[in-house]
Structure 1
Amino acid sequence: MRLGVLLILACITNVLQAQENDSIPLLNEISVNGNFEKQFLSGNAIILPKIEATSFYNGNNISEVLKQNSSIYFKEYGNGMLSTIAFRGTSASQTSVLWNNFNINNYTLGQTDFSLIPTQAIEEISIIPGSGSSMGGSGAFGGAVLLENNLSYKAANQIKINQEVGSFGFSNSYINASGSNEKWAYSTRTYFTNAKNDFEILQTGELQENAAYSKWGINQSIGYKIRNTESIKLSIWYNDNFREIQAPIGSSRDVNEQSDHNLRTHLNYEKNLKNGFLNVGTGYFIDELDYRLNDAISYYKVNRWESFSDYKIHFLNSHELKISARYNHIEAFNQNYENGQALEQRYSLKALLSGQINPKINYALHLRQQYIPKQNIPISPYAGISSKIIDQSKHQLELKLNSSYNYRVPTLNDRFWNESGNSNLKSETAWNKEVSLNSNHKFTDLKVKSTITAFHNLVDNWIQWVPTINNIWSPRNIKQVLTEGIEISTDFKWVFPSDFEVKSNLQYSYTSSTVMDSEVNPTEIGKQLIYTPINKATAFFSIRKHNFSFNTFHQLTGRVYTTSNNSEIFSLSPFYLTDIGLTWTPKNWEISTKIKNVLEQEYFLYSGFAMPGRNYQLSITKTFNIY
């Protein structure tokens, strides 16, 4: 089957090569994220984290960046430990995480551990809230997180070397190299992080023990321009992570260990055609986990081969049609599966249409169908529209609307776990609707950009593991959940004479995630889902003068319930965090100092697991330009 799919993709490529002529646009940039072009998201927002945030949290995992730039909440089982996402009131398995057009969610659990993704391994991070995230595949009810490593044939030859040290034995090093010529482009990102992680537990005054972690990896991309209209590229990302599992406060200090190994590779071929664009790719992925509790060992491994072909055509001057086919072969090995393994093949076909109705109105339509043996999967439609209400040189106001119907296939664990898996599970489904108003204003020294979004998402057949009459836990479709809310974001930028600049960003989100129906626990009906804060706010302030900058980051998280009956006694109290940093950037250098949790706040992101108090970091980066 794999060979057949690859032969089909190769035939498509050869046939379309015949269409090349001198009028075909040149291919100057490589964009390896071919699935989320903005023109196919007319009704959606695309959030790009502030460069100040990615720089400040460069030595941390990307959850720190995402928390500061969106309404996303993370359940973290301690400092540097397991970190899972809650996006717009949905579960961790209802958010897609894509790297260069490939979904990298764990196929056994259906989710991503964000503690395994260091910020410095990724060139660009994007957040797609709500409906438009379904472009990346099934299960993206809350949204999608896009991780990109792009290449450019115009990139200067450059090497960056960084060393960062901090409290609790923290050390982080990375080397980034990039460059190009007329035919070749490359990007190399290597990193190594380790920490003893022996911080003081503010609640007890004791020292946190047995919570050390380390990670290292390399993310390598190479591109070759065959001619001005076509190129190939190869990307390889290997990540190796080890950690001692942090214990809850007051529990046994036994040393539990976990090792994660991730290999992600893909090869892409891109070609500009006279009236369109072809993108063909194939990838191979290995995810491996080894968990040790005293003498007990838990191990799994997932091998995955995925291929796709995208063909985009331009017509009638302002319209585009994209057809995409994808094949996914999955092999999962787990001692807890029947026969120790699970095999599955998935196929999908997708059509996307976008264009201009008139100069002020854009539209986008998607239709996606997936086939998985023994699964009843619905068609997934999407419709989005944007309208420029005010379109002046200094003032713009735009209205966006979108709606989608999406689904999530039960995970491999849900279906294949020995004696507990449920092969009769239905796919979760979600009907999402949202509306947003975006404005941009330019004054003499000030730029203001603001967005307000309202969303409504009804999820049916919500899957949850519950005990059976034989006291064996098994997954069932037992819930209906309604998530709705409002998100507000405002950016300010003041530019003054003498190279003086002030920036700020304010965000607030209200998220109601309510259980509407429950077959097992009627007492949770009408209650807020656990680990979903109703209120969250973030703020960012930056002052820059010449090559000095001062940045502050603020997070206010409301009460978080940890029990289905929303008990105040067992809930996590609201907390307010402040991080500050001072950066000096003389020629080819960047030297920064950071203080995190300045106010020494005691807080929890998951019940019982301590987080550190005030801590410090020093970072030095040297850039070498190669001529």
Structure 2
Amino acid sequence: MDIKRSLVLLFSSYGCFLFGQEKTIDTIYVFDNQMNRVKLFHPVKTISAEEAGKNSSNLSELLRFQSQVYIKENGRGAVSSPSFRGTTAQQTAFVWNGININSNFLGQGDINNIALFGYDQIGIKAGGGSVIYGSGAIGGSIHLNNTLDFNKGFHGSLFSEAASFNTYNNFVKGSYSNDKFTFKVSGNHSISKNDYQVEVDKRKTYSNDNGQYYNTNINIATAYKIAPHHQISWISEFFNGQQHYPVHFGDLENKTKYETQNTRSLLSWDWSTIKFSNSFKTAYTEENFQYFGNINGAETSGGVGKNYILKNDFNYFLNSKWNVNIIGEFQINKGNGAGSSGIGNINRSAGSIAGLLRYFPTKDLRFEAGIKKDFVEDISSPVLLSFSGKWDIVKWYDVEFNFSRNFRAPSFNDLYWAQGGNMNLKPETSYQFELRNHFKIGDFKLSVTPYYMNIRDMIRWLRTPAGYYGASNTNRVETYGLESQLEFEKKLGKHILKSNLGYSYTKSTDLDIQKKLMYVPLHKFIGNIDYQYDFVKVYVQGMFNGLTYTDSNETKSDALDPYFVMNAGVSTTFFKNYTLGFKINNILNETYYTMLSYPLPKRNYSLTLNINF
């Protein structure tokens, strides 16, 4: 697919469609073809592979220090889930190269069973996005994206890390491309004994016994230009992992573990001309998981979930001001539970049709309106809406507004769990509005975004009169707050200074009982400062979380105390292609929790080596 002054240039030039002379340039192919369009109307924080190396323990650590998402982690490397704007993990969509990969069973993604390495970009988008990215995109979405380059020849890299608690990370990547063909392969293996200790107080020390983990991830991607306007692309990912769950009472408590094997494969045919583009995708995703109530015993419970997906994205330019985008999708979702789940063979079909109309009256003003209808077997799904706009008012100030209606379909566990599943559940729906104010003054960029969200029919597992927990539509949740970000970048000769500071205020209330939702800190602050002189780089990270309730009754005695954690690292590049780095995590030796009873490590260290060839 020769890149002409077409789709990408259209969006990068704010809708000024150019019918000028075609020009062939080097191509960067992005599997999530909607991402460039999304960025026109919504702020998306993009974390590069290089930035990910600063928090190389796992994806949880990366999101905790480089985004305003709250991460709840049951001990380092164990079960981990995100919270966007006061919502839960079920209201967060994980999107792999444009495909929603939330679990069929849980309706969410376990962050520590998603590899950190192997993606070229990690995108973080706060706010609703169900019109484009489907069920679960209520509070926000996390995007795991791969790219392919043409005309770049051969490149390779190796990243190796040795860290505290017998932790080792190794990642290798190789790629080759010419003007018509491109191929990329990467592999990552992480393993840790994870046996850290934390002095909780003068009388008690926590030991992360039975906390070891390992995981392996392989990515393969390729593309071929079969004709001037046609390209075939394929990408696959294979993940295998094992987590042992920490115990609190040593030999008096059964040691448990969890194993998972995930497969994702995507085949795409892209057709692009000067006036339209069409991307037809077929995908297969599979999740396998097994829980062992005793690490030396038989499997206690588990499941297999399979998804077969067809998706077509048609984009047409009526003229220089109007653009039409139609997205159709059909899925077959299958599940088969094991052991105590009581879930038998399940088959559910789902489809959707979405239309987006974009209008670019001037180069400084643009609008987008979207509508979508989902068709989920045995579930009544609402009509979804979105409306967005951006106005570059003056050189130093622009404003964006976004309104959307979003939803989440009940998961297999919500519907079919042996004791507590509810076949009569309604899908969750939400209305959200945000207004982003963006200022540019010299080398500074400041964004201030107030937002409001109302969630109806939230699915909660609550105790029933019979004593067991069951799923029901009982909660109404109202969330409002403020997100702000200050960026600075300055270059003087060989000196480069960059900083990124973020603050969020979040109030999320269960309207039925007028109490705050659990695990939603009222205040969160993150800060990242980078300094480079020639071949030496230094960085400092800081994170503050305010008081965080761990139950639905605002019990202060069980709340997580506020904490401030700081990391720092230094690296030096020699012989152009070799970089040696050293990191100190939790410099202040802070005792802190993101989940009650599971403290995260105190001061720890790592040594890294990166080779490019």
- C-alpha displacement at 1:358, in angstroms? 2.0
Aligned residues of 1:44 and 1:132 also touching (Cα < 8 A): no
Which residue of the partner structure matches residue 37 of structure 1?
Answer: 36
Name the aligned partner's letter for residue 112 of structure 1. Answer: G
CA apart distance, 1:168: 0.5
- In the TM superposition, residue 24 of structure 1 has moved relative to its aligned partner by 7.5
| AA of the residue aligned to 1:165 | A
Q: CA deviation at 1:25?
A: 7.4
Per-residue CA distance 1:218-262 (angstroms, 9 max, x = gap): 011011111232111111100110121112478945321111100
**In the alignment, structure 1 residue 86 sits paired with structure 2 residue 83:** yes
**Contact 1:367/1:382 (CA < 8 Å) preserved in 2?**
yes
Show the counterpart of 1:312. 315
Measure, in 1, the Cα distance between the counterparts of 2:253 and 2:24.
61
Name 1:505's counterpart in structure 2.
500
- Aligned ranges for residues 376-525 of structure 1 at < 5 Å? 376-391=380-395, 396-442=396-442, 447-497=443-493, 499-517=494-512, 525=513
Instruction: Specify the SS of the correspondent of 1:135.
Output: helix
Of 17, 39, 45, 1:47 maps to: 45
2:349 is the alignment partner of 1:345: yes
2:245 counterpart residue number = 245
Alignment check: 8 A CA contact 1:249 1:608 kept: no
Amino acid at match of 1:194: I
CA change 1:43–1:235 in 2 (3 A) is closer
Are the structure 2 counterparts of residues 608 and 252 from structure 1 closer, same or farther at C-alpha, using a change threshold of 3 Å?
farther
- Quote how far apart the aligned CAs of 1:467 are: 2.4
Q: Deviations over 1:148-206 (max 9, x none)?
A: 01111133411111211011000111111122012211111101110111111222335
What's the offset of the Cα at 1:567?
0.9
Task: Mark the CA change 1:496 to 1:24 in structure 2 (over 3 Å): closer, same or farther.
Answer: closer
What amino acid does structure 1 have at the position aligned with 2:221? S
Residue 36 (structure 1) shift: 2.8
Equivalent pairs, count: 586
Counterpart pick for 1:528 among 510, 516, 522? 516
**Mapped contact 1:249–1:610 kept (Cα < 8 A):** no
Which sits farther off after the overlay, 154-163 or 245-254?
Answer: 245-254
- Residue number in structure 1 paired with 2:107: 110
Contact 1:285 1:305 in 2 (8 A): yes
Given that residues 248 and 609 in structure 1 are in contact (C-alpha distance below 8 angstroms), is that contact kept between their aligned partners in structure 2?
Answer: no
Q: Using the alignment, how far apart are the partners of 1:283 and 1:540 within structure 2?
A: 37
SS at match of 1:65: helix
> Could you tell me which of 325, 337, 343 is aligned with 1:322?
325
Q: How high is the TM-score relative to the length of structure 1?
A: 0.90
State the Cα distance separating 1:359 from its structure 2 match: 2.4
Unaligned runs of 5+ in 1: 1-21, 518-524
Quick one: distance in 1 between partners of 2:205 and 2:585? 19
Match of 2:16 in 1: none
Is the alpha carbon distance of 1:343 and 1:511 closer, same or farther for their aligned partners in structure 2, counting shifts above 3 Å?
same
**1:415-462, Cα deviation, whole Å (9 max, x unpaired):** 1112421111111110101101012233xxxx1111100000000111
What is the deviation of 1:117?
2.0
**CA distance in 2: counterparts of 1:254 and 1:593, whole angstroms:** 37
- Does the 8 Å CA contact 1:133/1:144 hold for their aligned counterparts? no
The alignment's TM-score, normalised by the length of structure 2, stands at 0.92
Write the letter of the residue equivalent to 1:342.
I
What residue number does 2:572 align with?
A: 584
Counterpart of 2:384, as a letter, is S
Cα distance 1:24–1:291, how it changes in 2: closer, same or farther (>3 A)?
farther
| Alignment partner of 1:162 out of 156, 159, 164 | 159
Does the 8 Å contact 1:41/1:132 carry over to 2? no
Match of 1:618 among 599, 607, 610: 607
Q: Name the SS of the counterpart of 2:122 in structure 1.
A: strand
Shift of 1:274: 4.0
Q: Which amino acid aligns with 2:74?
A: Y
- How far apart are the structure 2 equivalents of 1:156 and 1:515? 55
Q: For 2:511, what is the secondary structure of its paired residue?
A: strand
Inter-partner Cα distance in structure 1 for 2:322 and 2:60: 37
Distance 1:344 1:96 in 2: 19
Q: Cα gap change, 1:339/1:533 in structure 2, threshold over 3 Å: closer, same or farther? A: closer
**Aligned partners of 2:206, 2:342: CA distance in 1, in Å?**
44
The one-letter code sitting in structure 1 at the alignment partner of 2:481 is: G
Structure 1 distance, partners of 2:89, 2:79, is 12
Give the % identical residues. Answer: 25
Does structure 2 conserve the Cα–Cα contact (< 8 Å) formed by 1:48 and 1:127? yes
Q: Distance in 2 between matches of 1:164 and 1:214?
A: 14
Residue identity opposite 2:59 in structure 1: I
